A and B are shown apart, each in its own frame.
Chain A
Amino acid sequence: MATLPKEADVLENAWGPHLNRMEGPRIDTGTEPDRIVPTHCCFCGQQCGINLKVKDNLVIGFEPRYDFPFNKGMLCPKGVKRYLQGGHPDRITTALRRDPENENGFAPMPYDDAIARVAAEIERIQSTYGPNAFGVFSGASLTTEKAYLMGKFARVCLKTKYIDYNGRLCMVSAGAANKKAFGIDRSANPWDDILNAEVVLIAGSNTAECSPITTNYVWQARENGGKVIVVDPRITPIARTADIFLPVKPGRDVALFNGILHLMIENDWLDHDFIAQHTVGFEAVAEHVEQWTPRRTAEVTGVAEKSIRAAAELWGTAKTSFLMHARGIEHHSHGVENCLSTINIVLASGRIGKPYCAYGTVVGQGNGQGGREHGQKCDQLPGWRDISNPAHREYIAGVWGVKPEELPEAGVDCYEMMRKIDAGEIKGLLSICFNPKVSLPDNAFVTRALEKLEFFTVIDFFLSETAQHADIVLPGSLHEEDEGVVAQVEGRVIKINKAVDPPGDAKQDWRVIQDIAQALGRPHGFTFENPRAIFDELRVASKGGVADYYGITYEKIEAQNGVFWPCPSEEHPGTPRLFEKGSWNPVAKGEGPFYFPDGKARFNVPAYRPPAEDVDAEYPVILTTGRVVSQFLSGTQTRRIGPLVDQYPEPRVEIHPRLAQKYGIADGDWTTVESRRGTITLRAQVVTTIRPDTVFIPYHWAGKKSANQLTIAAQDPVSKIPEYKVCAVRLRKS
């Protein structure tokens, strides 16, 4: 029974979030570290290099890691204070079992007994209801070794088709669009290609707050003469000084980019040779965007026609450019079309596959890139292989030492898994690196579904709001307590190094998974001694695939400060820039630079659809959600770090003064925002930096402060990403 064992406030009092602050050896100016460990930040997809100062198995601070080329010592405040997640009073150091009799709701138990209980429940559920009655939730903040192991664990050990991951909330719209247009899903260029781009077009990326280090690349491009175009309903810090700011009405991005392509065609700002030689499908798209005249584009997007024309001219006439986008255009029920509409204007310009001619999506999670390549997605096998492709199944089955027919078929996305839990189809769940109770839309539904699980187990280091529902909690590891690789925003594979040992009974996550396999009596393929052994198998599993890691080794990563995949052989240096003229890939086999049999990129027709829930008389205001710089995702870590909470303690609702005035709301007033799914009451922040038809709430908080009480579970039909960026709400002063 996965109901809360105690009231939420009792659980919070016992298990946090409590705030950890600098004290003891961390504040004592006389403390010398025993050693300095070069590694990376545990948070976002930039994966900044950082040196951790370690004293007596405790990280006591940091030193800038000037030698790592991506960030050269730079960090955002999350990176600076990240070490305070270690030595935390909320840390889970033993296995826990749900115990409503216990004053804290959970009782410690011996680790081996907990593993035995988890194995027994998996066995019971699967023998009673079938193997697919047990599902797995995983995450893209795990190292690639762990992500790979989770996919293998679900398919080989549990023999369930139901595994999916929290990258579903993050990267999948970009991934699906990249696969449709380019045949490969990775930022096409290294970030150095921003530096001398004539135009940097940033669509739906609050770059300065969500990927702060990228800011310096953009500012440097400006110093070098580049112009910046920002598409966002809010003037975020990256937009404040933009040369052209396009305040798009949330949910109308396709219209905007179709309108820009319309003007490119009208003014013949096209690279005809590139389109003819390297692409397929331009005519159909050209015909489709005929209807997107500047006037209609302006009407639908709410952006001034003159700004649309100015942006189209700047983009159309540039010699070099970098187009980047993030969740702002991806978190939509038409997120894939949004991405495709941006790719169309890149392909029409011919500016890709060359220095300073670039396209990339700004990944969110630490391993947002690597975590989506090697099989923890519901339809995927390692190396970006397809679980429904017989040849791919046969290859991976061979690596795993099982028969191809033993591998399950494709499962469903994580939200659909929630619906299957609600429908009683999935009875048991193992979750790691995922906090769906906070991060999935429509919190009330997610909570109801979780409560229906017959058995729920969570591997975590803190008792997250989701873990509060668990029957058994297994103590997992922090980022700095294990080693392994991740792929950062550029597709550069880097190495996370271990700084300290897990405390108490806590174990590295891959050990916990292997212990479950052992207890189930299904140890085949789960006897790795260390992450390096997992990585060596992953290299073979990815060999010949699109995401080919075969030539990457820990030593090579260290020697080169990272290796860009694909890297098919040990002699191969890696591939910082994709789609270069004359480049070879395993799909085109020399026919062309793109990852299709003919080597050509695809234009795709992006039809405009309004958001799933548009405003109406009853709910007349658009709600959009996002992040603040000092918090990260569902806040399991950052809501426990004192200095980060001090910086932005509570979510506020951003409202334009014109809108605020209509409701009689002044800055600082308690304001109730209500959707068809839920209600939230927060203080208003009245600012002119947001569209007057839109309000914004950051989503890092839980319970009554969770923005996802309001959001809608509408999903993109292809990528299945939820529509976090648009739903209809009404406001009142509380």
Chain B
Amino acid sequence: MNMEFFIDPNRCIGCQSCVAACSECDTHRGTSMIHLEYVDRPISVQTVPVVCMHCDSPTCAEVCPADAIKRTGDGVVQTARKPRCIACNNCVLACPFGVPKMKVEFSLMMKCDMCYDRTSVGSKPMCASVCPSGALYFGTREEIEHLRPRSQPINKFQFGEQTITTKVHMMVPRDTAVQHVDVLSAMDERTIDDVFEGIE
């Protein structure tokens, strides 16, 4: 059975259950490898759980000078390897989704590995198991299509001229076209700097 990971921030209630459960995972007990953000708390209770999107061509790995971030054969981008990671923060700065976090206490970047110890043996990731709102969901394509008829999964994201395809899917409303949030992402990247010419 081909199990996949789906994120629907529209459902997120900000409870941090995912973050709490991540730190209960057997391979990294006591340390959570995911985080949750308020988008803009003064005006909204909207929150977003930030788990790794597991990019086909992971920017984090591409910018890593120590070659510490590996992608498994089945497409899971793993947390940095301790013997290699030099805690340079390149990945933290480069990831377009804001996923990796530097754990200064270990001098190590740690990020979601989709609970590789669980998913590789047919079990569900901790975060998607406990999530009480279904914002994080792990299951088959058939299940998600049956459960979420008003939503559709997408896994292609545009950041300027960079198109990123991910293993993890984001659920968006089925009857609404995908929109760009920031005008810059729809502009020709080369022309953006021109805009600011002459502006102090």
* Chain A residues close to B by CB (< 8 Å): 22, 26-29, 61-62, 64, 66, 71, 73-77, 79-81, 208-209, 212-213, 215-216, 219-220, 222-225, 235-238, 240-241, 629-630, 643, 647, 657, 667, 685-689
Q: Which residues of B contact A647 (CB under 8 A)?
A: 16, 20
Please indicate the chain A residues that have their CB under 8 angstroms from the CB of B47 in the complex. 237
Task: Identify the closest chain B residue to A215 (Cβ).
Answer: B133
Given A29-B29, A212-B15, A687 contacting B41 (CB threshold 8 A): yes
Say yes or no for B59: interface residue by CB 8 A criterion: no
Interface core residue of B17, B132, B150 (most chain A CB under 10 Å): B132
B28 at interface, CB cutoff 8 A: yes
Residue numbers in B under 8 Å from A212 (CB-CB): 13, 15, 17, 132-133
B89 on interface, CB distance cutoff 8 Å: no
Cβ proximity bits B123-135 to A, threshold 8 Å, 1 near / 0 not? 0101001111110
Known contacts A76-B17, A77-B15, A688-B42; A215/B132 CB under 8 A: yes
B130: contacting residue among A80, A219, A687, CB under 8 A: A80
Contacts A22-B23, A26-B29; is A238 near B13 (CB within 8 Å)?
A: yes
Given contacts A61-B24, A223-B148, A235-B45, contact A76 B29 (CB under 8 A): no
Q: Complex formed: what's the CA distance from A667 to B151 in Å?
A: 36
Residue on A nearest B12 in the bound complex, by CB = A237
The interface residues of chain A lying within 8 Å CB-to-CB of B14 are 208, 237, 629
Interchain CB contact (< 8 A) of B133 among A73, A77, A219: A219
State the 3 A-B residue pairs at the shortest beta-carbon distance, nearest first: A208-B13, A237-B13, A212-B132
Q: Is B11 an interface residue (CB 8 A)?
A: yes
B27 located at the interface, meaning its Cβ lies under 8 Å from any Cβ of chain A in the complex? yes
Could you list which residues of chain B lie within 8 angstroms of chain A, going by C-beta atoms? 10-17, 19-21, 23-24, 26-30, 41-47, 124, 126, 129-134, 147-151
* CB-based contact B131/A74 at 8 Å: yes
- Which residues of the other chain, A, contact B43 by a CB distance below 8 angstroms? 687-689
Output the least CB separation between A159 and chain B (Å).
45
B16 touches A77 (CB 8 A): yes
Q: Is the CB of B130 within 8 A of A236?
A: no
Which A residues touch B130, using CB under 8 A? 64, 73-76, 79-80
Q: In whole angstroms, how far apart are the Cα atoms of A630 and B132 in the complex?
A: 13
Are B129 and A22 within 8 A (Cβ)?
no
A20 CB, min distance to chain B CBs, angstroms:
13
Contacting pair A66 B132 (CB below 8 A): no
Q: Which residue of A lies closest to B146 (CB)?
A: A223
User: Is A22 a contact of B124 with CB atoms below 8 Å?
Assistant: no
What A residues does B42 contact at CB under 8 A?
657, 667, 686-688
Q: Is the CB of A64 within 8 A of B129?
A: yes
Contact of A643 among B23, B29, B45 (CB under 8 A): B23
Contacts of A688 in B (CB 8 A): 42-44
Q: What's the nearest-Cβ distance from chain B to residue A340, in Å? A: 30
Docked Cα-Cα span, A111 to B42, in Å, equals 53
Known: A75-B132, A240-B46. 18 other contacts (CB 8 A): A22-B23, A22-B29, A26-B29, A28-B29, A74-B131, A75-B130, A77-B19, A80-B20, A80-B24, A80-B130, A208-B15, A209-B13, A212-B132, A237-B13, A237-B45, A647-B16, A687-B42, A689-B45
Q: A216 CA to B130 CA in the complex, in Å? A: 11
| A–B complex contacts, Cβ < 8 Å, 6 sampled | A27-B29, A29-B27, A76-B130, A80-B24, A81-B20, A224-B149
Q: Are B10 and A216 interface neighbours, CB within 8 A?
A: no
Shortest Cβ gap from B118 to chain A (Å): 10
Nearest chain B CB to A588 CB, angstrom units: 38
The closest CB in chain B to the CB of A241 belongs to: B10
Kindly state the separation between the CA atoms of A61 and B20 in the bound complex, as whole angstroms: 12
Q: Are A629 and B150 in contact (CB under 8 A)?
A: no
Known: A29-B29, A223-B147, A224-B149. A74 touches B45 (CB 8 A): no
Q: Separation in Å of the A678 CB from the closest CB of chain B?
A: 28
Smallest Cβ-Cβ distance to A71: which chain B residue: B132
Interface of A is mostly: loop
Please tell me which one of the listed residues B12, B15, B26 contacts residue A629 in the complex, with CB atoms under 8 A apart. B15
Instruction: Give the chain A neighbours of B129 by CB distance below 8 A.
Output: 64, 66, 73-74
Which residue from B13, B24, B147, B148 sits with its C-beta under 8 Å from A62? B24
**A209 adjacent to B15 (CB under 8 Å):** yes
Complex contacts, A77 vs chain B, CB 8 Å: 15-17, 19-20
Who on chain A is nearest to B137 by CB? A216
Which of B11, B26, B131, B149 has the most chain A CB atoms inside 10 A of its CB? B11
Cβ distance B37 to chain A, nearest Cβ, rounded Å: 14
Contact residues in A for B126 (Cβ distance below 8 Å): 64
Contacts of A22 in B (CB 8 A): 23, 29-30
Contacts of B24 in A (CB 8 A): 61-62, 80
Q: How far is the CA of A29 from the CA of B148 in the complex (A)?
A: 36
Contact A73 B124 (CB under 8 A): yes
Could you say which residues of chain A place their CB within 8 Å of the CB of B30?
A: 22, 26-27
Cα distance, A406 to B133, chains bound together (Å): 51
Q: How far is the CB of A46 from chain B (nearest CB, A)?
A: 9
Q: A22-B30, A61-B24 are in contact. Are A76 and B15 (CB under 8 A)?
A: yes
Q: Which residues in B have their C-beta under 8 angstroms from that of A80?
A: 17, 20-21, 24, 130
CB proximity of B167 to chain A, nearest CB, Å: 22
Residues from chain B with a CB closer than 8 A to the CB of A208 are: 13-15, 133
User: Smallest Cβ distance from A537 to chain B, in angstroms?
Assistant: 36
- Chain A residue nearest in CB terms to B27: A29
**Across the interface, which residues of B come within 8 angstroms of A630, CB to CB?**
15-16
- Residues of B near A643 (CB, < 8 A) are 20, 23
- CB-nearest residue of chain B relative to A225? B150
CB neighbours (8 Å) of B20 from chain A are 77, 80-81, 643, 647
- Bound-complex Cα distance A657 to B41 (A): 12
Write the nearest CB–CB distance from B137 to chain A, whole angstroms. Answer: 10
Q: Are A29 and B17 in contact (CB under 8 A)?
A: no
Smallest Cβ-Cβ distance to A648: which chain B residue: B16
Residues of A within 8 Å of B45, CB to CB, are 235-237, 240, 689
| Chain A neighbourhood of B147, CB < 8 A | 220, 223
A216 with B134: CB separation less than 8 A? yes
How far apart sit A225 and B10, CA to CA, in the bound complex (Å)? 16
Task: List B contacts of A27 (CB < 8 A).
Answer: 29-30
Please report the C-alpha to C-alpha distance between residue A81 and residue B20 in the assembled complex, in whole angstroms: 7
Partner of B21, one of A75, A216, A238, A657: A75
Distance to closest chain B CB from A80 (angstroms): 4
- Given known contacts A76-B17, A236-B45, A216 and B132 CB-to-CB distance under 8 angstroms: yes
Residues in chain A near residue B27, CB distance under 8 A:
29
Q: Which residue on chain B has the smallest CB distance to residue A235? A: B45
Give the most central of A219, A220, A225: most B CB within 10 Å: A219
**CB atoms of B132 and A76 under 8 A apart:** yes
Which residues of chain A come closer than 8 Å to B23, judged between CB atoms? Answer: 22, 643
Counting chain A CB atoms within 10 Å of each CB, the highest count among B10, B12, B20 belongs to B20
Q: How far is the CB of A265 from chain B (nearest CB, A)?
A: 33
CB distance from B115 to the nearest CB of A (A): 11
Docked pose: A80 CA to B23 CA in angstroms: 10
Q: Are A223 and B149 in contact (CB under 8 A)?
A: yes
Please give the distance in Å from A53's CB to the nearest CB on chain B. 9
- Considering only CB atoms, which chain A residue lies closest to B43 in the complex? A688
Residues of A within 8 A of B148 (CB): 223
Q: Across the interface, which residues of A come within 8 angstroms of B134, CB to CB?
A: 215-216, 219-220
Q: What CA separation (Å) do A62 and B17 show in the bound complex? A: 13
Structural contact, A75 and B17, CB atoms closer than 8 A: yes
State in angstroms the CA–CA spacing of A643 and B18 once bound together: 13
Shortest Cβ distance from A216 into B: residue: B134
CA distance A379 to B28 in the complex (A): 52
* A437 CA to B16 CA, complexed, in Å: 29
User: Taking CB as reference atom, which chain B residue is nearest A61?
Assistant: B24
CB-CB < 8 A to A213: which residues of B?
A: 132
